[in-house]
Amino acid sequence: MVSRTTALAEELALARPSPADLEELFSALGSATEALRQSHDELGTRVKYLERQIVQKDRALERKRRLEALGKIAAGVAHEIRNPLGSLSLYLDLLEQEGGRRERALELIASMRKGVALLSATVNDILTFTEPGRARPADCDVVALLDESAALARGEGSDAVLIVRGYPRERRIARADPDWVKRIFLNVIRNAYQAMPHGGELRLGVRYGNAVTVRIRDTGPGIAPDGLEKAFMPFWSMREGGTGLGLSIVHSLVERSQGRIELANHPAGGLEARIALPWELKEDGE
């Protein structure tokens, strides 16, 4: 295009252009201008896309740094708490033996045991978040693991919650850490039940593609937009009395499983978790 335009310009310099020559020249210039405009628009679109990618990566890097710092703090706290908990549990055993006939003492002991159990669970959650250990990949039926997790969580939720399943007809086997996968599903389903204390629908879906995609949706109130950004942060919880570690553990285990997780408010109401797991967990991705 440019060489033709140059050739025409040279011809014009040697001879007086005819109307046809001028028309051809203007057509060539117009085509060149349009090509430059399209290139400019494409370049602008590409630049905007790269700018968004940079912003997202910067946010992810900053989040990773914060999580690493919080992880170190949490690990220290967990190890400091674990030893006193062991002593407290031992003292409760002694107190129970000495005060076995005192009804009030037994009630207090029962309350103290609940407190110890809660603290122990919190410590275990912290350690799972900070030190989940090495992955142990095995053949997994993701649908079966999802159903097992739903059965475990059902006893902790309202009986008025209806479970609706959408699974493929044929089962396929993935290579993943089954304990990690069950923990991921269990924590997300527990959150779903907590969002529906008076009943609702728990929708479980599995789809096969380039990855195994699992969808878990409740029909609760959902989460405010600023809460979606904080949902995976350690010690942040919408629920009073929650440790704020459930979804943090989920995010950590999903990342270690080389997968992805997203939370979004569903247009029909409620919160939906979309979890994508690879068909095979590579050994070096621990």
The number of distinct structural domains making up the chain is 2
- pLDDT, tens digit, 9 for 90 and up, residues 146-189: 999 999 888 877 788 999 999 999 999 999 999 999 999 999 99
> Looking at the predicted structure, is the pLDDT value of residue 285 above 50?
no
Q: How far apart are CA 156 and CA 148, in angstroms?
A: 14
Final residue before a domain boundary, out of 77, 95, 130: 130
For the beta carbon of residue 242, count every other beta carbon within 10 angstroms: 14
> Looking at the predicted structure, is the pLDDT value of residue 286 above 50?
no
Can you give the pLDDT at residue 120? Answer: 76
Which DSSP letter does residue 156 get?
T
pTM: predicted TM-score of the whole model, two decimal places: 0.62
Can you give the pLDDT at residue 15? Answer: 56
| Residue 240 within a domain | yes
- pLDDT, tens digit, 9 for 90 and up, residues 197-207: 888 999 999 99
Shared domain check, 195 and 84: no
- pLDDT, tens digit, 9 for 90 and up, residues 89-143: 777 777 677 655 667 677 767 777 777 777 777 777 777 766 667 888 999 999 9
Shared domain check, 225 and 121: no
- pLDDT, tens digit, 9 for 90 and up, residues 210-246: 999 999 999 998 888 877 777 777 776 666 656 667 7
Shared domain check, 240 and 164: yes
Q: Decide: 129 and 71 in contact? Cβ < 8 Å.
A: yes
CATH at residue 188: 3.30.565.10
CATH at residue 77: 1.10.287.130
> 222 lies in which domain range?
138-278
Shared domain check, 214 and 85: no
| Residue 16 within a domain | no
For the beta carbon of residue 52, count every other beta carbon within 10 angstroms: 10
Can you give the pLDDT at residue 33? Answer: 78
Q: How far apart are CA 56 and CA 73, in angstroms?
A: 26
User: Number of helices (H) and strands (E), helices first, in the chain?
Assistant: 7, 7
